[in-house]
Amino acid sequence: DAGVIQSPRHEVTEMGQEVTLRCKLISGHNSLFWYRQTMMRGLELLIYFNNNVPIDDSGMPEDRFSAKMPNASFSTLKIQPSEPRDSAVYFCASSSGTGVIGSGEQFFGPGTRLTVL
Amino acid sequence: GEDVEQSLFLSVREGDSSVINCTYTDSSSTYLYWYKQEPGAGLQLLTYIFSNMDMKQDQRLTVLLNKKDKHLSLRIADTQTGDSAIYFCAESTDGNKLVFGAGTILRVKS
């Protein structure tokens, strides 16, 4: 398996523009997690899905952020409108939810580095 | 809310042992994890321990848990330059939502 795939790897945009980040889960995994990593705040969980259903979105910063799973293998994270303070590395991770530690074994993608000017 | 704290930086010589420490606040933490992040990459699970365990050993890695003090440590024996990375401690009560520490940068000098 190719692992978790994220696109784009780098995104530079101007304030006010819409940004869409994409993630393809590992085949057979049923849990999907979106994280944001910054120097100031570390790694923050934004939202996670189980079987395509959002379970906990308490980490989503505000209404400008939205995430969807249109099917079992794909997810998008959208920011509209984007702001400079959204600049960060965004990771998605997937998990099978099976095994002794459930969804604790998460497989991370390489991340998308977002810069909002 | 839950909080996980780690020291920011550790520097060791190649061949020495590294010990990375972590403290957490949630007494209902059931699962505790160590993840590794190499430059430009996502996190990778290294090892984990259940809260009812004191120690877990996996090749060069030893995890120690002091549940009373809510203290977790990761010992890497015979540290190699390839071990240079950021190490994250994380805890979870349900095995789904993980709370990560800020990460410890490990630098290995040859």
Question: What number is the average pLDDT over the span B50-58?
Answer: 92
CA distance B82 to chain A (A): 19
What local confidence, expressed as pLDDT, does residue B94 receive?
83
Q: Tokens 């984990």 appear where?
A: B48
What local confidence, expressed as pLDDT, does residue A45 receive?
93
Between chain A and chain B, the number of residue pairs with CB atoms below 8 A apart is 57
CA distance B15 to chain A (A): 29
A12 and chain B in contact, CB less than 8 A: no
What are the chain A neighbours of B42 within 8 Å (beta carbons)?
A: 4, 91, 93, 108-111
Backbone phi, psi, residue A22, to 5°: -125, 150
What pLDDT digit, counting tens, does each position of B33-51 carry? 999 999 888 999 999 999 8
Q: What's the CA gap between B107 and B33, in Å, rounded?
A: 21
Beta bridge partners of A82: none
Does the pLDDT at position A20 exceed 90? yes
Contact present, B86 and A43 (Cβ < 8 Å):
no
Share of chain A above pLDDT 70, in %: 94
A59 and chain B in contact, CB less than 8 A: no
Binary contact (B95, A108; C-beta < 8 A): no
Q: Which residue in A has a C-alpha nearest to residue B47's C-alpha?
A: A105
Question: What number is the average pLDDT over the span A26-37?
Answer: 94
What pLDDT digit, counting tens, does each position of A55-66 carry? 999 999 889 999
Contact present, A75 and A23 (Cβ < 8 Å):
yes
**Of B15-19, B84-88, B99-103, where does mean pLDDT reach its minimum?**
B99-103
Does the pLDDT at position A104 exceed 80? no
A102 and chain B in contact, CB less than 8 A: yes
